[in-house]
Every structure is written in C-alpha cells, then in structure tokens.
A and B are shown apart, each in its own frame.
Chain A
Amino acid sequence: MTIATDRLSFTFAALADPTRREILKRLAKGEASVLDIARPFKISLPAVSKHLKVLEKARLISRGRSAQYRPCTLEAEPLKEAADWVDQYREFWEQSFDRLGDYLKTMQLHEAKKNAASRSRKRR
C-alpha cells in the first residue's frame, strides 16, 4: 500500500462515525476546547476524547500544545484529498455513462438490423 492510500483509508475510517462528523462540523466554525466540543453530545468526556484521538490520528484535527487548554483545530488537507478522490471516481462513471448513452443507440441500431436480417432469412 502506498502512503497516500493508507492515509486516505484512514481519513475515510475516521469519517465513518457520525459523532466524529458532527465534531468536524463544529470545528469548521473555529477552534474549540474539549469541553466546548463535548457539550452538545450525550456522551461522556472520555468518549469524546476517544473520538478526538481518532480524528487527531487521521490528521483531521490538530491539538494545541498547552497542557491545560488544548484547543482542537480542523485540518483541511486530508478532507480535501478525500473529496478529490470522491470527485475523480464520480467523474470516471459520469464520463463513462455519457459515452454509454451514445453507444447504446449504436447497439440498438445493430440489434434492429440483425433482427431485420433474420426475419428476411426466415421469409425466404
């Protein structure tokens, strides 16, 4: 596995959890302390800390260095990579489907010709 692949798997795994996505949405508004982040959730502080650790490992957030107050900040780069990946895959299919639409017309013409030919053979 390449480093980029690993990192992307990691990003997607971190994003797979709805609580973590909510945390990221909160941080999109600006940096926040663990207490601020925990407030809207009905889960314990240690549980929130655990989610923050996963996000930190995935490099989706960074934590301040001060021992007492370690504000969390959103890191956009891994999200950008994940979004690029999604876009490229979507494009692959969309562009293929554009061509398939035209190609199916060709296929139908062929089928029609084949059927006409076999009908005229049968008549003979």
Chain B
Amino acid sequence: MTPDLQPFVISRTFDAPRDLVWKAHTQCEHLRHWWGPKGFKITDCKIDLRPGGTFLYGMQPVSGGDKIWGKFVYREIDEPEKLVFVVSFSDENAGITRHSMSSVWPLEIFGTSTFSEENGKTTVTVSWKPFNATEEEIDAFEAGRPSMMQGFGGTFDQFEEYLKTFD
C-alpha cells in the first residue's frame, strides 16, 4: 500500500433511502441490473458478504465477446454505512489473474464506499486508490526489469490534469 497517496473520489446522490441503496450494492439480484460500465451486461454474480468474503462477477460486452471477470474481497462490512474492499481482475474461480480489458488497468484497488442518508436521499461516496504499490514490489520490479517503452508520448495537458487530482 501507498498510504500517503491521496485517494480518488466519486460521489453520487440518489433519490432513495439508504437501506435500498445498500441492498442494491450487496445483493446479486440487484447488482446485475446496474453494475458495470456502459456496453456491458453482468452474466454471473456471486456474493459472500462478510469480511474476507468475495463478490465475484462476470461481465460481457453487449455486442458479444469474451467474458471479463472481476472481484471484490471485502475487508470491512458495516451495514448500512460502509463497505471496504480490494478490487482486482479475476478468473471465473476468483483467482487473481490481473487479466484486463486494457493493458494499463489491472492494478489492485483499495476501495471504500460510504452511504449516508439525508431527507430520504442517499449519498454514496466511493474512494479508491492503487493497492500494493509497495517498496518490495518496486525492488522486485527492479530485479526483473524489462526493457521499457521509449520516447515521449502523451501530452503535458493530461499530465497537469492528472497532478491536479492529487491536490
């Protein structure tokens, strides 16, 4: 873990009571209706809602194509206020594969979802940061250092925007 790395945060307020929003986050019959990025449908879902338990899901592009598996391992469950979990890509048996839809995405992620209710509306705040970017990993990386991409790419605009997310 990189404890001094500021998390990224997404927040959304829903016009629904907290118990319902909690259910929607923790039960497969509900998750399969909304979880996943645009253009994907949830094909498989299994939840073992307890610390150390796993939420395993499979999703498939609506246009067809290979299934992608992902999982959460719950660290903390404080119904109906808070979920703490580690997200990773997975295979269908919940083994971490770090397989991904993008070559640059498959880091493990440390996530926290909090649920707060006010006047019948519920705000969900998800914060997340890369998980396991440890000194040991860096050393291991150094030991087996592959040849890396060369040259300049990208734009400084994007860089500046990215740095802003840390402030």
Contact = CB atoms under 8 A, between A and B. Distances in A.
A9 B107 contact: yes
A3 interface: yes
A8 interface: yes
A94 B149 contact: no
A47 interface: no
B24 interface: yes
A13 B138 contact: yes
A49 B155 CA distance: 26
A12 B24 contact: no
B61 interface: no
A93 B14 contact: no
User: Which of A10, A17, A105 has the most chain B CB atoms inside 10 A of its CB?
Assistant: A10
A8 to B, nearest CB: 6
Nearest to A99: B34
Contact of A9 (B12, B34, B141, B158): B141
Interface stretch (A31-39, A76-84, A114-122): A76-84
A31 B98 CA distance: 36
A70 interface: no
B2 interface: yes
Given A5-B107, A15-B166, A79-B154, A88 B102 contact: yes
Nearest to A11: B133
B159 A12 contact: no
- Give the size category of B's interface with A: 35 or more
Q: How many A residues are at the interface, by size bracket?
A: 35 or more
Nearest to B126: A93
A21 B5 CA distance: 11
A79 B37 contact: no
A1 B96 CA distance: 10
Contact of A107 (B12, B24, B130, B137): B24
B137 A2 contact: no
B163 A21 contact: yes
Contact of A6 (B137, B149, B158, B159): B137
B153 A91 contact: no
B126 A10 contact: no
Given A2-B106, A76-B155, A88-B105, A96 B5 contact: no
A111 B30 CA distance: 13
Interface of A: 1-10, 12-13, 15-18, 21, 24-25, 28, 57, 59, 74-77, 79-86, 88-108, 111
A-B interface, 3 closest residue pairs, ranked by CB to CB distance from nearest: A80-B154, A76-B154, A99-B34
Given A12-B2, A101-B12, 5 more contacts: A9-B107, A9-B137, A10-B138, A99-B33, A100-B21
